[in-house]
Amino acid sequence: MRYGLAIVVAFFYITIVLHYTYTPDDTYIYLQYARNIAGGDGFSFNPNSPSYGVTGPLWALLIAAGVKSGLDPFIVAKTFDILFASLSIVVVYVLSVSLIRDRVYAFIAALVFSLDAWFLRWSASGMETSLAVLLVLLTVRYAYEGDYLIAGFVAGLLTLVRPEGVLLFLVIQLENSITSYFLRKGQRLLWIGTALYLIVVVPWLLYSLMRFGSMVPNTQLAKSATSFSLIDFFGTLVASATILGSTQLVAIVLLLFGVPFVVRNMGIGHIIGKMLPLLWILGLPLGYAVLNVQVVSRYLVPLIPLIIIYAFWCFKQLELVKLWKQERAYVFLSIVALACILQSQLVYRIKVVPHMKSFSIGMEEGIKPIALWLRTNTPDTATVLTPDVGLLGYLAHRRFFDTAGLVSPDVRRAFGALSYEEGMKRRLYRSVIKPDYIVDRSSVPARLTADSVRPIMTSEFIGLGIAQPDSVYYTLYRIIQ
């Protein structure tokens, strides 16, 4: 299996290298922060203007460490991403061996995960997703082995990559309390692990509170609703289920039917001690629903390996209760794995790959020319307002404000409950900033044209998102004060 796993990782590496150029706009936000950190301009998007505009400060600091060594931030982010993604596949195998106690099942779980469409999409993107996946898997493994000390430490690192790490830490606490009650385990290591978690997380929280005035990243505020409603709650749950089911429907069905089967036929005690993955799988979508987060696929990738592992664990129990012999179980397992792979690869080939290609073209031909024009034709002191700040800010080297509220949350607050389109029409941003230039995104080119808002250039962007295949237009305007 060792050589088979090496082949799986190698094939995964070849696959993601083929879409190496796919780089989301959020990646460039990380690169800009890393460049400023390494250059001594503080934790900021605009030099010397502190802002909490990234989700994972640890990811920005890792890239900054590479930049400080003289490396290109783009190459550093991509290299780390690929490394952590490859290690995640290995850890899926290791964790599966621990949970399932069968190396064939473990190998197939790693294979299925390595071919998941969403995992492939975000690997090599330069985002923090692969590191988050790796840290989730390590946290679960250490907690499962009863090493709550290391599990707490790793959960702390995860929280500095994705804020959802705090939920996994709470799940560890709950799972340990349950297993302690049933299995009479001591809780001393749990409390030490809690202390280590706080040692990792608290210094950053204090720094962010003093530096930014908030312990919550602007990305979290920008992508969550300020009020709760049942309609939004169930809408978020449906969105999460749709994303996960689009690539792992077979595994989810196995999980839904397998857990009750195990409890009914083998007793509740058989599942005690293996509850952490299940609690995490249930808890994360519920957390997103309560906060009404605008869920995208990369938020859910850390769930996918555990769905696969736990589904195959349920499948293994069918063999253990003598429903079939091992040889026949391997045949059925291969059929299930093939169904998982076929579903995911259809989504990858039909939806994901075409989107990544069109998106990369849009960034290169739609946004990059605007950024280069701003860098070449505007003074260093020019201010620019835009909805998408990443690539523009990274290339233009000007002072940027964004309507999404990642870098400049005051602009988003100025829009209130109004949409981006309506807020731009009413020029509500003027209560916060009077920009020299605006880059507008709309289905209609040059829609803001007026005597004081003069268009300079317009670029078409096809395929901004998988769910948004139609063209949008980015128009650069000069503001006549």
**For residue 319, how many other CB atoms are within 10 A of its CB?**
18
Residue with the larger pLDDT of the pair 186 and 286: 286
Cβ count within 10 A of residue 410? 12
Q: Which amino acid is at 56?
A: G
- Give residue 189's pLDDT band: very low, low, confident or very high (50, 70, 90): low
Q: Which of 323, 340, 370 lies at the terminal end of a domain, its last residue?
A: 323
Q: Please calculate the CA angle 11-17-18 and round it to the nearest 5 degrees.
A: 95
Q: Which residue has the tokens 């001393």?
A: 188
Residue 481 confidence (pLDDT): 73
Q: Give the whole-angstrom CA distance, residue 37 versus residue 48.
A: 10
CA pair distance 38, 4, nearest whole angstrom: 40
Q: Which is it for the CA torsion 59, 62, 68, 74, positive or negative?
A: negative
Q: Does residue 333 sit within a domain?
A: no
Residue with tokens 């702390």: 156
Question: Residue 384 and residue 474: Cα distance in Å, rounded?
Answer: 13
Among the three residues 279, 304, 323, which one is the final residue of a domain in this structure?
323
* 49 Cβ contact list (under 8 Å, min separation 6): 42, 399
User: What percentage of the chain reaches a pLDDT higher than 90?
Assistant: 67
* For residues 330-350, average pLDDT: 93
Asked if residue 6 has pLDDT above 60, the reply is: yes
**Residue 341: inside a domain:** no
Lowest mean pLDDT among 41-50, 298-307, 314-323, 367-376: 314-323
The verdict on 265 and 380 lying in the same domain is no
For residue 340, being part of any structural domain is answered with no
What is the mean predicted confidence (pLDDT) over 243-254?
95
CB 363 within 8 A of CB 23: yes
Distance of CA 88 to CAs 5, 280, 438, Å? 12, 17, 41
Count other C-beta atoms under 10 Å from residue 322's C-beta.
7
pLDDT at 226 over 70: no
More confident residue, 279 or 481: 279
Find the mean pLDDT for residues 301-320. Answer: 90
* Inside any domain, residue 398: yes
Tokens of 400: 């940027």
Domain total in the chain: 2
Residue 351 lies in a domain: no
What pairing do the DSSP bridges indicate for beta strands 399-402 and 383-386?
A: parallel
Which region among 155-164, 281-290, 313-322, 387-396 has the lowest average model confidence (pLDDT)? 313-322
Query: What pLDDT is recorded for position 260?
Result: 83
Are residues 233 and 315 located together in one domain of the fold? yes
Of the listed ranges 21-35, 70-84, 328-342, the one predicted with least confidence: 328-342
**Shared domain check, 82 and 198:** yes
| Higher per-residue pLDDT: 258 or 353 | 353
| Same domain assignment for residues 291 and 398 | no
3-state SS class at 337: helix
Please say if the pLDDT value at position 181 is more than 60.
no
Indicate whether 134 and 82 sit together in one domain: yes
Mean pLDDT in residue range 88-99:
95
Q: At residue 248, does pLDDT exceed 90?
A: yes
Phi, psi of 384 (to 5 degrees): -130, 135
Tokens representing residue 461 in the block? 């962007």
Bridge-based pairing of strands 399-402 and 437-442 is unpaired
For residues 410 and 275, membership in a common domain is answered with no
276 pLDDT above the threshold of 80: no
Query: pLDDT band at 103, cuts 50/70/90?
Result: very high
312 part of a folded domain: yes
Q: Is residue 45 within 8 Å of 391, Cβ to Cβ?
A: no
pLDDT band, residue 449 (cuts 50/70/90): very high
Tell me the C-alpha distance between 104 and 323, whole Å: 18
Same-domain check for residues 258 and 197: yes
Mean pLDDT of the chain: 90
pLDDT digits (tens, 9 = 90+) for 34-91: 999 999 999 999 999 999 999 999 999 999 999 999 999 999 999 999 999 999 999 9
| CB atoms closer than 10 angstroms to residue 150 | 18
Whether 147 shows a pLDDT value over 80: the answer reads yes
Which range of 192-196, 337-341, 403-407 scores highest in mean pLDDT? It is: 337-341
Tokens of residue 127, six digits: 């985002």
Residue 309, pLDDT > 90, answer: yes
Between CA 300 and CA 193 the distance in angstroms is 25
Q: Write out the residue range of the structural domain in which residue 290 sits.
A: 2-323
419: pLDDT strictly greater than 70: yes
Least confident segment among 50-59, 300-309, 312-321, 339-348: 312-321
Same-domain check for residues 22 and 126? yes
DSSP secondary structure string, 133-188? HHHHHHHHHHHHTT-HHHHHHHHHHHHTT-TTHHHHHHHHHHHHHHHHHHH----H
Mean pLDDT in residue range 217-236 = 77
* CB-based contacts of 223-226 (< 8 A; 24+ apart in sequence): 223/293, 223/294, 224/291, 224/292, 224/293, 224/294, 225/291, 225/292
319 or 236: whose pLDDT is higher? 236
Same domain, 142 and 271: yes
Q: What is the pLDDT of residue 222?
A: 67
Answer yes or no: do 379 and 308 share one domain.
no
Q: What does the pLDDT average to over 457-473?
A: 85
Task: Indicate whether 310 and 369 sit together in one domain.
Answer: no
Do 360 and 316 belong together in one domain?
Answer: no
Reported as a pLDDT band with limits 50, 70 and 90, residue 185 is: low
What element of type H or E holds 453? strand 453-462
Give the residue from 304, 323, 342 where a domain finishes: 323
The residue among 209, 132, 192, 199 whose CA lies nearest residue 168 is 132
Q: Is the pLDDT of residue 436 over 60?
A: yes
Query: Is the pLDDT confidence value at 213 over 80?
Result: yes
